[in-house]
Amino acid sequence: MNKVLILGAGGVGRVVLHKCTQYPETFQEITFASRTKSKCDAIVADVKNYPKPIRTEKVDADSVPELVALIRDVQPDLVIHVALPYQDLAIMDACLETGVHYLDTANYEHPDLAKFEYGPQWAYQEKFEKAGLLALLGAGFDPGMTNVYTAYARKHHFDRMDTVDIIDCNAGDHGYPFATNFNPEINIREVSAKGRYYENGQWIETEPLSVKKTFDFPGGIGPKEMYLLYHEEMESLVRFYPEVKRMRFWMTFGQSYLTHLKVLENVGMTRIDPVLFEGKEIIPLQFLKFLLPDPASLGPRTVGKTCIGCWIHGVKDGRERTYYVYNICDHQECFKEVGAQAVSYTTGVPAALAAKMILTKTWSGKGVFNMEQFDPDPFMNEIGPFGLPWVETFPAGQEF
Ligand code: NDP
């Protein structure tokens, strides 16, 4: 009997839950837990055609004892963690204590430091290995799908990859002057941090949003400005593909988003250190999150598409070639299927498929793994029917 425990009833949690219920032969029993149980109940109420009742629970995922008690009671084979990156280590500890496999979609972040790195989680390698357990890190779209795209490219289309550019475009419009498509706190921390890219064995830092390029996106999206950011999948990809000479990550932003962000930064609203307000300590970014639209509420009003993929240049059979692999996802189609917009959908679908890979033992191992360490073929074969079809092209003579 395959049982899963899904943690986190946000936009991504909604998608993961819906996707798991679409495959009841693999996900035979599901428990859905989060900080606010009513949010789990509301999402479960939308699920149709799952043959068993879905249990919901309240849990504080920052508390290892609470997690351990819940996991002991539920006895899942796998914990799918789609709460927040702050909880990664607590949930990994609870999985070790209870002997359960672990999966997440974002690397650990300390609440007081906007720092994105796998180090603290890679440090669990020996513990998971000794316990005979698997921890799969970064199993969303980026990180996640983009790591699998890169592994697939290397396996089938390159003898050597020289440059990898990960390109993330959200051409959706939610109609608000300013809102974020996933957790505002995590999103703003990521975007307002310094940019960083990898070249010839070194990380090169850039000022936040200071490097930009225009890219003509496929799928009817057209040309958009995109900005160089640091993104966590680059850390694992340069580790597992040391041949790559340059790796960069790009994300598109509209002018309204950037102007609002600049103003919010200038007035101190994106600060993550506590400030004393009328005798009470508050963290400006957390207060801003409270004021902004809940990303989960953007679903019904977001129109347009996302396009995320990898543009890779390298050598195959002695000849240089360029390869571009991507997915196009339509916000309204996602909403019709699972009641969430495409940013949550593109994260939750790979997470659910990665969970299926683990439960069916298609992917197995002991220790802490990133997505690119497993055979990409079964994942690439299934991800299209699972909800995220992909397109590959070999753009001739096009420099990135
Ligand atoms: P949301 O903020 O919408 O949802 C997070 C959920 O986690 C909320 O339901 C929240 O509860 C719950 N939660 C927060 N803290 C705790 C806690 N201590 N204990 C229990 N539950 C808690 O975020 P998203 O759904 O947008 O994102 C989920 C994850 O996916 C994040 O880690 C994010 O970084 C990651 N992500 C990854 C992407 C990728 O491509 N790899 C892309 C986008 C997101 P409450 O509602 O009560 O606050």
To the nearest whole number, what is the mean pLDDT of the chain?
95
How many Å apart are CA 195 and CA 209, to the nearest integer? 7
8 lines ligand 1 (CB under 6 A): yes
pLDDT score of 218: 96
pTM for this one? 0.95
Q: Taking the CA of residue 208 as centre, how many other CA atoms within 13 Å lie in the half-sphere pointing to its CB?
A: 13
Beta strand 319-330 with 305-316 is antiparallel
Going by pLDDT thresholds of 50, 70 and 90, the confidence category of residue 360 is very high
**Largest interatomic CA distance in the chain:** 68
User: CA 298 → CA 32, 123, 149, 303, 343, distances in Å?
Assistant: 22, 37, 28, 10, 10
350 lines ligand 1 (CB under 6 A): no
Contact 32, 74 (CB under 8 A): no
Going by pLDDT thresholds of 50, 70 and 90, the confidence category of residue 115 is confident
pLDDT score of 343: 93
By most ligand atoms within 8 Å of CB, the mutation choice from 34, 43, 236, 310 for ligand 1 is 34
User: With 90 as the cut, is the pLDDT of residue 365 above it?
Assistant: yes
Q: Which atom of ligand 1 is nearest to the CA of 11?
A: 25
Instruction: State whether the Cα torsion 8-87-233-292 is positive or negative.
Output: positive
Q: Which atom of ligand 1 is nearest to the CA of 9?
A: 9
Q: Is the residue at 48 inside a domain?
A: no
Count of other CB atoms within 10 angstroms of residue 53? 9
User: With 80 as the cut, is the pLDDT of residue 114 above it?
Assistant: no
Q: Is the residue at 17 inside a domain?
A: no
Q: Helix, strand, or coil here: 78?
A: strand
Cis peptide bond upstream of 143, omega within 30: yes
Q: Helix, strand, or coil here: 255?
A: helix
Ligand 1 centroid – CA 12 distance (Å): 7
Ligand 1 centroid – CA 182 distance (Å): 8
User: CA 228 → CA 148, 204, 250, distances in Å?
Assistant: 21, 11, 5
Contact 176, 293 (CB under 8 A): yes
CATH number at residue 310: 3.30.360.10
In this structure, the residue with its CA closest to atom 11 of ligand 1 is 35
Q: Is the residue at 231 inside a domain?
A: yes
Domain count, the chain: 1
Going by pLDDT thresholds of 50, 70 and 90, the confidence category of residue 41 is very high
pLDDT score of 155: 98
User: With 90 as the cut, is the pLDDT of residue 112 above it?
Assistant: no
35 lines ligand 1 (CB under 6 A): yes
62 lines ligand 1 (CB under 6 A): yes
Q: Which atom of ligand 1 is nearest to the CA of 143?
A: 41
17 lines ligand 1 (CB under 6 A): no
Q: Is the residue at 26 inside a domain?
A: no
Q: Which of 363, 345, 339, 351 is nearest to 79 (CA)?
A: 351
How many Å apart are CA 114 and CA 16, to the nearest integer? 26
Count of other CB atoms within 10 angstroms of residue 388? 20
> 132-158: buried (b, 16+ CB within 10 Å) or exposed (e) per residue?
ebbbbbbbbbbbbbbbbbbbbbbeebb
Q: Which atom of ligand 1 is nearest to the CA of 145?
A: 40
By most ligand atoms within 8 Å of CB, the mutation choice from 182, 237, 370 for ligand 1 is 182
Lowest mean pLDDT among 175-184, 224-233, 335-344: 175-184
Q: Is the residue at 137 inside a domain?
A: no
Going by pLDDT thresholds of 50, 70 and 90, the confidence category of residue 192 is confident
186 lines ligand 1 (CB under 6 A): yes
Q: Which of 362, 341, 34 is nearest to 349 (CA)?
A: 341
Q: Is the residue at 308 inside a domain?
A: yes
Q: Helix, strand, or coil here: 319?
A: strand
96 lines ligand 1 (CB under 6 A): no
| Secondary element (H or E) of residue 7 | strand 3-7
In this structure, the residue with its CA closest to atom 32 of ligand 1 is 84
Q: Is the residue at 184 inside a domain?
A: yes
148 lines ligand 1 (CB under 6 A): no
Q: Is the residue at 209 inside a domain?
A: yes
Ligand 1 centroid – CA 200 distance (Å): 35
184 lines ligand 1 (CB under 6 A): no
Phi, then psi, of 380 in degrees rounded to 5: -65, -35
- Residue 262, domain extent: 145-338
Both tokens assigned to 176: 């608000």
Q: Which atom of ligand 1 is nearest to the CA of 87?
A: 18
Going by pLDDT thresholds of 50, 70 and 90, the confidence category of residue 297 is confident
By most ligand atoms within 8 Å of CB, the mutation choice from 18, 64, 82 for ligand 1 is 82
Ligand 1 centroid – CA 298 distance (Å): 15
